[in-house]
Amino acid sequence: MAENSRLPIFERWAETYDQSVQTNEGMFASYNLVIDEIVRSAQATAGMRVLELGIGTGNVAQAFLTLGCEVWGVDFSPAMLAKARLKLPQVKLIQMDLTGDWPETLQQRFDRIVASFVLHEVDLATKIRLLQRLVEQHLVDQGIIVIGDVAFPTAEIRRQSGAESWDEDEYYWAADETIAACAGTGLEVTFKQVSWCTGVFVVKWSASPERLSND
In the chain the domains, ranked by start, together with CATH numbers, are 2-214 (3.40.50.150)
pLDDT at position 207: 59
Residue pair 61/52 in contact by the 8 Å Cβ criterion: yes
pLDDT at position 1: 47
Beta bridge partners of 110: 139
pLDDT at position 7: 81
List for the chain the helix, strand, coil content (%; round to 5).
45, 25, 30
Residues 6+ apart with CB under 8 A from 23: none
Split the chain (215 residues) into runs of 10 and give each run's mean pLDDT: 69 83 77 96 98 96 98 96 96 95 96 97 96 96 96 97 91 97 95 96 75 47
pLDDT at position 209: 42
Residue pair 78/13 in contact by the 8 Å Cβ criterion: no
pLDDT at position 40: 98
Angle at 38 between CA 104 and CA 87, to 5 degrees: 65
pLDDT at position 3: 47
This prediction has a pTM of 0.91
181-188 long-range contacts (CB < 8 A, ≥24 apart) are 181/124, 181/125, 181/128, 182/128, 182/131, 185/128, 185/131, 185/132, 186/132, 186/135, 187/128, 187/131, 187/132, 187/135
Which amino acid is present at 39?
V
